[in-house]
Every structure is written in structure tokens, then in C-alpha cells.
Amino acid sequence: MRLLSLSLIGLIACSSGSTAFYPSLDASDNDASSSDADEQAPNPSIDTILSKDSIEAGASVTVTCTGTGFDRKDVRIDIFVPQEGASQDETFAPSPALPQGVTMDGFKITITKAGYYGVRCYTADLSLHDETPAPLTVTPATPVRIETSLDRTQIKAGEWIQATCEAFDRFDNKITSGFALSVAPSDGVKVSDLSAQLTRAVRHQVACEIPSAYLVDTTPVEVIVAPNIPKKIYTHVTPSEFKAGGQAEIECVATDAYENKVPDLPMSVALPPQLTILGKTISGVVAGIYTVKCVPETIPWRYFQLFGVTVTVKPGDPAQLLLKVVPDREFYSIGSKIDVIATILDAYQNVVPDASVAPPTISPPTGIEPSPTNPLRTFILRAEGIYIMTFRVINFPEVSNEITIKVEGSGPLITILYPERGATIQGKPSVTVVGTVNDDVTGIASFTINGIEVPRTNIKPDGTFTFILNPHQGMNMIDARVVNGAGMESRVRQSYYFSYAYYPVDANQPEKGMVHNSVRAFLLRDFFDDGDHDPNHPDDLAT
């Protein structure tokens, strides 16, 4: 005998049943039974054996009745639905009606309704019946239809929904297990059993499915997800780099904790003083790297994550070239070395670091040589002269500048044309000195004759000059000193004689050249110093 499952253990009452007959057995079996009964009379009994104790809805099971003490042609089959907790009647009385969904063909039972059933064999006269019916479990067949229902269809991002899934096989048996949840789109979705957390503010399609049966609800439920409260503020600047004087567009975007845009949050822009904003356009003329940040307008900043961006204002195109000479002098000596430092600026006085200058043009072309180690910066002054060095910015030849370099190799030039050296002049006590003074490189800084500054008006553009001296009787000195702009000095010293009258010198008549009331001196050594310094007898210059 077969025992019922745990849910069927106990007293069982029949809710419905039916009877099936065994086919007739041959006579020899009856005779053998009668013969055996005459010799030994065992207690009659009947047992129920099923070919399967569990089937899917729509499948069949075969019943076999075994035992002793009965004529097998009188065997019947009773099929019923056990009632849990009900008491078994003392008198066995099978129902002639089959349970819903049960059909029989001889001893083959086909059941389409899922559930638990009892099957037992009994005799037609009800004298024998299987007191422990065989249990039969009928499970739902392969699901063919599934339906989805949700606890709500409108939520905020981050909230959970709960699904209820119902599935049925082709016999409308309800399936209660094996479910899973499908959510499309799946981005931002976290599924746990039949619950799902939706974090993206989009329309989701939610459907129950049974993966093992490759079955999914073809009519999913739509869930509308709205943004949650704002938690983050992003700043977008396009482009993030622009030249000085240019501009960029700024956009402030507020999102919830799940990156969904939250509209209508009042926001403003925090930016450094070097940048300006008009509407949604920012601009700046000072080159640099700046942080720009969108912020809430009315809510304290501490309630948000603020994501600023870096905005780079690059220098504009070259517009100005500055030149600096190191060392910075008005005049340079031959053989000295100079460095020319070029600084290239844009229209807003920003240094343009990527721009560079081309090799300079030098006029006159000889006299200044670029250094072989740094030909664009360092130059060697080889010859005296005034040089103009013109620098231009590469790719921007219209941006240029020039410097003047004065190389001084010697002092200024000075020549006394009149009076000639040793000249004898007579007449009025006035002598006009005539000469030339010049320094083409550095110019004349100072010009004196006998310690008196020569007025610049006395010097003509071609360098000739005049200067009046008041001579005295006898030999007169001319001491001319000139200093150029480089501080170099030139000096000329020469003398002339002045007298109101001169005695003629005639070799044929030497007496006419005699000077009356005069002293004749022989300019020997003793005339200057004879070694005797007696003041009473002054006979030399030393005494």
C-alpha cells in the first residue's frame, strides 16, 4: 500500500470519486484461487499501485490493484480530492462522479487540474477497499500565459516597486513559483526577487517572466519615474578654452542623487573677478586658468555637491613686441656683448608664450654678429657705429619693433684750424678760434676751451665751430677739451703769439730788428740755474 504525502496523512474523507472495472480474468485464475482458499483462507486485502506518484497536468498515470480474497473482475477505482483535517467515515462510499479535470480510460487516469489526489482500489460490493489510498500529485504544466501587476506605477527616482506575478498553463492552472522580474531599460535598475529599485527618470516597462520556460509578459506595465530632490549641481562651459577677448557659453544643470536632471532650480554662477558674465555668456581678457561654479541661488550650498569646471583664457594673437637690451646702456664699447629680450603681448597685454621672433635685420648689416649659441637673443658688437636692429614676430610680420645700438670705439674728434700752432698775431686783442669737433656715434656731451664752455650755438651741424679768445701780449695757450656721450675725452693744446707790433727781421739789415730798452738773454743752462742762489746777485731764473 502507498502512503499519502504529509499533507494527506490522517483520516481522509472522499469529496468525489469514480469507479473503474478490471477486465475479466481467465477461469484458471479463479479455480486456483478457489483451490487455494479451500486449503488456506488468508485475510482478504487490496492495495493500490500507481505507475507515477507525480505528474504534470494533462499527463496520465496507470493504476494497478493487487491483493487477495477478491475476484479481480469486480475491482473498481476511486479517485478523490482529499480534504485536509476531515474524518474518514466508517462506511466506505465512493462517489460516482469524477473530480473536475479527471478522465479515465480503463485503468489509465488523465488529470488536467493541478492539485493533490487520492487513488484507491475497491471491490464492487464495497466489501474491500484500500484503506491507505495512493497519493497522486498533479503539478501545473508548462506555463503559457503570464501577467504582471504592480503596487504603483508612478514613483520618484530611487524608490522601489513591488510586483505580483501570475502565470497559467494551458489548462488554466495557476503557477506560483519560478518568477523573475524584467525591467527595460535596465540602466539604473536594481532587482531583488520581485522588487525593483528604479533610479533613472525615464519610463520603464516592467514584466514578470519565468526564465525556465522562456516566458515573459508581452503586456508589461509602464512605470513613470520622476526626478527626486536636487542633490548635485554641475557646470558645463563650452568651449572650456578660449582666447582673451573671446567668450564661451555656460550651462548649469541640477540633478538628484541618481544623476537625473531636476528642472526649475534657481541657480547662479560664482566666478573670479577676471571673468564677466552676461546672460549665459562668459568672457575674459586676462589670460589664466579659472574655476567657474554654478551654485544654488536661494538654498545653502552645503546641501549640494557642487561640480565646478576649469576655464582657460589663453593669450590672443600677437599684437605688440617689447624689446629690452641687457645691459641697458646708451653707448657700448667694441667687443661687448648684449642680450635682447623680446616680450610678445596680445591686444590685452597678455604675454604670448608660444610666439617667437625671427632673426633680426640689422642696418648697417655688418658690425653686429649674432652669438652662435643663442643667435636670436645674444649679439656681439664688433665695430663702431650706430645700428638699427629690427625684430619681427614669426607668422605675424606686422608686429615688429626696433632698437638703436650705438657702439663707440674712440673718443670725439677735434681740430683747431685757426690760429695755427705757433702763429704770430697782432692787432686788436681778440682772436677767433676756428675748428671742427665731431662724434658721429655718441654725440658731443661737453666742449670747453680754456675751461670755458663753448655754446652749442657756436657749433654748426657739420661740426665747425668758432670761439673768441682775448689774448694777452706774448704767448697764449689754447686748451680745447671735448667729451662725447660715452664719456670719452679728447684734448688739443697749442699756442700762439700775440703782440700789438713786431720788429721786422731782416738779415740784410739786422740793426732794424733791435729792440730798444730791452734785455738780451742767451738761453743757456746757466740762464735758468747756475747753482749760485745769492739773492744779492740775481743772475739766473732760479735765484
Position 376 scores a pLDDT of 93
Position 35 scores a pLDDT of 43
CATH architecture label of 413-499: Sandwich (2.60)
Q: For residues 247 and 284, give the distance between their C-alpha atoms in angstroms, rounded to a whole number.
A: 7
Residue-wise pLDDT for 36-59, tens only, equals 444 555 789 999 999 999 999 999
Parallel/antiparallel/unpaired status of strands 332-333 and 396-408:
parallel
Q: Are 22 and 44 in contact (CB under 8 A)?
A: no
Which residue reads 487520492 in cell numbers? Answer: 118
Closest CA to 332 of 442, 426, 175, 230: 442
Position 291 scores a pLDDT of 97
Q: For residues 461 and 136, give the distance between their C-alpha atoms in angstroms, rounded to a whole number.
A: 137
Residue-wise pLDDT for 247-282, tens only, equals 999 999 999 999 999 999 999 999 999 999 999 999
CB atoms inside a 10 Å sphere around CB 376: 15
Does 320-403 match 6-139 at the fold level? yes
Q: For residues 493 and 424, give the distance between their C-alpha atoms in angstroms, rounded to a whole number.
A: 16
143-226 falls under which CATH superfamily? Immunoglobulins (2.60.40.10)
Percentages of the chain per state (helix, strand, coil), in multiples of 5: 5, 45, 45
6-139: which CATH number, 2.60.40, 2.40.50, 1.20.120, 3.30.110? 2.60.40
Residue-wise pLDDT for 137-194, tens only, equals 999 999 999 999 999 999 999 999 999 999 999 999 999 999 999 999 999 999 999 9
CB atoms inside a 10 Å sphere around CB 97: 12
Position 2 scores a pLDDT of 36
Q: Are 66 and 107 in contact (CB under 8 A)?
A: no
Position 252 scores a pLDDT of 97
Q: For residues 355 and 340, give the distance between their C-alpha atoms in angstroms, rounded to a whole number.
A: 16
Parallel/antiparallel/unpaired status of strands 288-296 and 305-307:
unpaired
Chain centre distance of CA 179:
46
* Top CATH class, 320-403: mainly beta
Position 410 scores a pLDDT of 75
Angle at 256 between CA 156 and CA 248, to 5 degrees: 140
Position 33 scores a pLDDT of 42
Q: Are 441 and 413 in contact (CB under 8 A)?
A: no
Flag residues of the chain having pLDDT under 70: 1-41, 85-91, 513, 520-522
* Top CATH class, 232-314: mainly beta
Q: Are 297 and 290 in contact (CB under 8 A)?
A: no
What are the residue boundaries of the structural domains of the chain, listed by start?
Answer: 6-139, 143-226, 232-314, 320-403, 413-499, 503-543
Position 86 scores a pLDDT of 58
Q: For residues 517 and 99, give the distance between their C-alpha atoms in angstroms, rounded to a whole number.
A: 186
* Class of residue 135 by CB neighbours under 10 A (exposed 0-12, middle 13-18, buried 19+): buried
Q: For residues 433 and 419, give the distance between their C-alpha atoms in angstroms, rounded to a whole number.
A: 6
Q: For residues 233 and 240, give the distance between their C-alpha atoms in angstroms, rounded to a whole number.
A: 18
Position 39 scores a pLDDT of 52
Which residue reads 665695430 in cell numbers? Answer: 383
Q: Does the reported pTM lie above 0.75? A: no
